[in-house]
Structure 1
Amino acid sequence: MKKFDIRKIKLRQVTVDELNDKMLLVNLYMTQAITLIIGFAWMFFQSRNPFALFKWPGSWNFALWGAGLAALVLIVDLILSRWIPEEASDDGGVNERIFKNRPFWHIVVLSAIVSICEESLFRGAIQQAIGPYWTSIVFAAIHVRYLRHWIPTGLVFSISYGLGWIQVQTGTIWAPIAAHFLIDFIMGCIIRYRREQE
């Protein structure tokens, strides 16, 4: 039997253009699963029950907070897209590749998975340890594809801080999950159906 030599493993950076559609989705689902696992593990180390985090709130107020933040983010994004050159807000084509050929139901599923997994880690675990400001710095840094330009980096930081703020205001993680879902879902539909019309 041939011995495995770890020194022969070579890593190289891969661009989104080098991934086929299947590998892009596998990558997306795997990173979200890892994000959720890290978030749950972090909460266990904080001696917190991650399942208690998802307790449904007594009222639907959280949905108003989430929808309000999502509306604000989408309005700001629309305003910025009118005055900023497209290359200044370029994410390397990742969002376009993820959403442009997806059916409506898949945009819903992707948006739900991303919002639940990312909010579990960032608002559910990290924010409890270091607060909304530093969590937003980590959140912006994790979204590496935006770091090439200061405008999308600032926007991602601001969105993250808003997500943390509405969780503090409502006392439930469902508010940032709702906002995150609506932002991703609406932007995904814009990408999908704008391309269809062109």
Structure 2
Amino acid sequence: MPKFDIKNIKLRKVTVDELSDKMLLVNLYATQALTFIIGLAWAFLQGQNILETFRFQSLSSFVYWGAGLAALVVAFDIGISRWIPDEAKDDGGVNERIFRNRPLWHIALICAVVSVCEELLFRGAIQHAIGPYWTSIIFAAIHVRYLRHWIPTGMVFAISYGLGWLMSYTGTIWAPILTHFLVDLTMGIIIRYRREEE
């Protein structure tokens, strides 16, 4: 039996265009599952009660705040995209590949999964430990596809900080989850139907 040698492992950078649609989805859902598991473990190690974290509070209050912040983010994103060149907001084609050929129900599912998993980790666990500012720096850093350009990196940081403030203000994780879902869903639908028109 040949001996395993770690030196023989070769890593190479793979672009989003080299991934099949199936592998892109597997990667997306696997990373979200990992994000959720890390968020659960981190919250558990902090002594948090996950059921309490996801408990609904005043329904109307968090819905208004969450939807309001989402509308502000989408309006700002659409507004700023009119004045900055496409290459300044390039994410390497990831969002385009994820959303452009998906049916509406699948776009909504992806956005729901991403918003719950990422908000559990970032607002539910990391923010609980280090606060919204440092959480937002980490949140911006993990969105590596934006780091090549300062405008999207700054926007991701600002959105994350807004989500952190929203959770602190409303006292429920459902407000940032709702905002995250609505922003991603709106942008996913725009990508999907803009490409269909072209």
* Paired letter, 1:102: R
Q: Which residue of 1 aligns with 2:20?
A: 20
Cα RMSD (Å): 1.0
TM-superposed deviation, 1:94: 0.3
More displaced stretch, 46-55 vs 106-115: 46-55
TM-score, structure 2 as length reference: 0.97
Counterpart position of 1:152: 152
Q: Which residue does the alignment assign to 1:175?
A: 175
Aligned to 1:109: 109
Deviation per CA, 1:146-177, whole angstroms, max 9, x where unpaired? 00010000000000000001101100000000
1:60 to 2:87 alignment: no
Identity of aligned residues (%): 71
- Residue 44 of structure 1 and its aligned partner are, at CA, apart by 1.1
| Cα offsets for 1:58-99 (capped at 9, x unmatched) | 332111111011100011111111100110000010000000
Instruction: Work out the CA distance in 2 between the residues paired with 1:58 and 1:152.
Output: 33
Instruction: Summarize the alignment of residues 28-177 of structure 1 with structure 2, pairs less than 5 Å apart.
Output: 28-177=28-177
Give the match's secondary structure for 2:154. helix
Task: Please give the alpha-carbon distance, in whole angstroms, between the structure 1 residues aligned to 2:142 and 2:87.
Answer: 20
Q: Measure, in 2, the Cα distance between the counterparts of 1:176 and 1:195.
A: 28
Shift of 1:54: 0.6
Deviations 1:112-161 (A, max 9, x none): 00000000000000000110011000000000000001000000000000
Hey, what's the Cα distance between the residues in 2 that align with 1:9 and 1:183? 40
TM-aligned CA deviation for residue 13 of structure 1 = 1.4
Aligned length, in residue pairs: 198
2: CA distance, partners of 1:14 / 1:126: 29
Amino acid at match of 2:146: Y
